[in-house]
Every structure is written in C-alpha cells, then in structure tokens.
C-alpha cells in the first residue's frame, strides 16, 4: 500500500512535541497520553483501537510505550496518513464516504465490490454518519493490509483463492497484530 509521503520533521520540533505529549515526564508516551494528544478532526477522542495498533507497530522495544526514537517514526506515519486522507477527502468534509474510500483503496491496489465497501463503512463508522473519520480510516487501512498479508501467506498460486480449514482461518484472524 502506498500513500503520500510527508517531509521528515525537524528533530527539535519533534522533541518539543514529544515533551508536551509525555505528560508524566517518564521519557515514554503511553497509549493514554498518545490518545489525548492526537486529533481526528471530529472533536472526539482518537479511536483507542487505532492508538493500540499504532503503538504495537512502532513499539520496537516491546515496552508498551513509545520512546522518542519510536515517536519520530510514528509522527511521520501519522503525517503521511493525514496527507493521504486529505487527498481522498474530495469534498473536504473531514471524513471519508464510501465512494472516497473506494477511490483510496482502489488506488492502493484493492479491487473490491461496492457491497464490501458498504460493509467497511458500516464497520469503521463510529458516528452513524455513513462516513469514516481520520483515525478510523487509518485503522481500516491497517486492518485490510494485515488481513491481505495473512491471506497471501495461504494464496500460494496468487490467484485470490485459498482453501483452509476453519481452525486455520481462526488462527489466521487471531494471529493478526492489527
């Protein structure tokens, strides 16, 4: 999956943000601190599941928190997603509707049915507005990418079809980091 890349931030700027987010001055950012610092553009708290996913992706030392070095990579990741989100939010509503989601995922290489896009919107719409907020868009894309990677491990012929047992399916789903 490719998305628009933001410029890497200045380290001093990043350090000042890190210090503001690290409310307890522990030298690491917890999921609660990260959640309170992030904005999804809807004046509601950032989706805790998305925060958990991102901490899991960037917590290289497995501490359960984000240190400054990890924060730099996370910050760039969020900036890249924000640029991507804005480029597909064609009506500048601050959220992604079903057509905008289809355009985004199609550009990432996914070929899915309108029925499936409708399912995705229902799954990742936390407000009942038939749209997906920024934080939920990140989660949606990360989950789809994780599921796709797991599927590909079984799709040895690369034809989009797999044959697995029920237990293999459960193992595939429950072994996902996302």
Instruction: Give, as one character, the DSSP assignment of residue 27.
Output: S
CB neighbour list of residue 121: distance below 8 Å, 6 or more residues apart:
97, 98, 101, 130, 131, 132
Contact 42, 133 (CB under 8 A): yes
Total Cβ atoms within 10 A of residue 24: 10
Residue with tokens 């989601």: 101
Provide the pLDDT for residue 11: 86
Contact 95, 133 (CB under 8 A): yes
Provide the pLDDT for residue 43: 67
Per-position DSSP letters for the chain, written without gaps between them: ---PPPPPPPHHHHHHHHHHH-TT-SSSB-HHHHHHH---SSSSPPPHHHHHHHHHHH-TT-SSSB-HHHHHHHHHHHHHHHHHHHHH-TT-SSSB-HHHHHHHHHHTT----HHHHHHHHHHH-SSSSSSB-HHHHHHHHHHHHHHHHHHHHH-TT-SS-----HHHHHHHHHT---
Residue ranges, the chain, pLDDT below 70: 1-9, 40-43, 177-178
């Amino acid at each position: 999956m490719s998305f628009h890349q933001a410029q890497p931030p200045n380290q001093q700027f990043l350090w000042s943000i890190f210090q503001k987010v690290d409310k307890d001055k522990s030298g690491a950012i917890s999921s609660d601190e990260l959640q309170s610092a992030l904005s999804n553009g809807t004046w509601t708290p950032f989706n805790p599941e998305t925060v958990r996913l991102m901490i899991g992706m960037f917590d290289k030392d497995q501490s359960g928190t984000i240190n400054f070095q990890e924060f730099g990579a996370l910050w760039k990741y969020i900036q890249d997603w924000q640029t991507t989100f804005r480029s597909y939010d064609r009506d500048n509503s601050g959220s992604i509707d079903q057509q905008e989601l289809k355009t985004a995922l199609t550009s990432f290489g996914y070929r899915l049915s309108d029925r499936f896009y409708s399912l995705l919107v229902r799954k990742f719409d936390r407000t009942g507005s038939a749209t997906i907020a920024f934080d939920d868009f990140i989660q949606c894309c990360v989950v789809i990418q994780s599921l796709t990677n797991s599927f590909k491990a079984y799709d040895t012929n690369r034809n989009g079809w797999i044959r697995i047992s029920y237990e293999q399916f459960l193992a595939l789903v429950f072994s996902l980091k996302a």
